[in-house]
Chain A
Amino acid sequence: AQSVTQLGSHVSVSEGALVLLRCNYSSSVPPYLFWYVQYPNQGLQLLLKYTTGATLVKGINGFEAEFKKSETSFHLTKPSAHMSDAAEYFCAVRHGNQGGKLIFGQGTELSVKP
């Protein structure tokens, strides 16, 4: 069965510092992986996705993530945090056999200090 674990429910960084949000997955089939961002009281917005091909994927707002099969990881990074990056971030894996169902991690709340 597929599952997603996000390490750290809260991460705090200073403005301009590196952002690293960790995601590990388990999947019995080649995974399709996603990162979404959610601002307070809003829906989720897709940041980036990995399906096949290049393992380093770039997304919106300067974020990128690297798929590492050997480590079953898909960590999200951004070289320099902005105040506007403060939000909750969700990692998700697509279920292989159930109609496109996504399995989400618990979420990581990112705070950015001035």
Chain B
Amino acid sequence: DGGITQSPKYLFRKEGQNVTLSCEQNLNHDAMYWYRQDPGQGLRLIYYSQIVNDFQKGDIAEGYSVSREKKESFPLTVTSAQKNPTAFYLCASSMGTRAYEQYFGPGTRLTVT
């Protein structure tokens, strides 16, 4: 079955540690996105990538980094510079910039203490 996988589902880290969230898709989609979700705030875009080896900052990129070395993969690193990293992180993909809808993975809940 085609889809988007995110792992792990739950992640716990100590403050000051970097952590990398995985996102893989087998939909052959060109574009991929990372969102952060906090209660009552909807979804906010962290980074997005339209093609391999290229990505752009979203609205809240500070404290995060990404890479896009393969079409299928778009990992997100939450660095120690992110002041409030505890959140639900969602990865999405779409066929391309002319495509309309985005398809979402199941999410990773990150808790930093």
Q: For the complex, would chain B's binding face be called helix, strand, loop or mixed by DSSP majority?
A: strand
Size of chain A's interface in residues, with CB distance under 8 A?
23
Whether B42 contacts A41 by the Cβ 8 Å rule is: no
Contact A100/B31 with A46-B103, A49-B100, A105-B42 known, Cβ cut-off 8 Å: yes
Interface size of B as a range: 20 to 34
Contact A102/B102 with A41-B107, A42-B107, A43-B90 known, Cβ cut-off 8 Å: yes
Kindly state whether residue B106 has any CB partner on chain A within 8 Å: yes
Kindly state whether residue B84 has any CB partner on chain A within 8 Å: no
Partner among A44, A45, A100, A107 whose Cβ is within 8 Å of the Cβ of B94? A100
Partner among B40, B48, B90 whose Cβ is within 8 Å of the Cβ of A44? B90
CA distance A46 to B4 in the complex (A): 14
Whether A51 contacts B43 by the Cβ 8 Å rule is: no
Query: Could you give, for residues 84-102 of chain A, a 1 whenever the CB lies within 8 Å of some chain B CB and a 0 otherwise?
Result: 0000001000100011111
Give the top 6 A-B pairs by smallest Cβ distance, nearest first: A43-B104, A104-B42, A44-B104, A104-B43, A106-B42, A43-B106
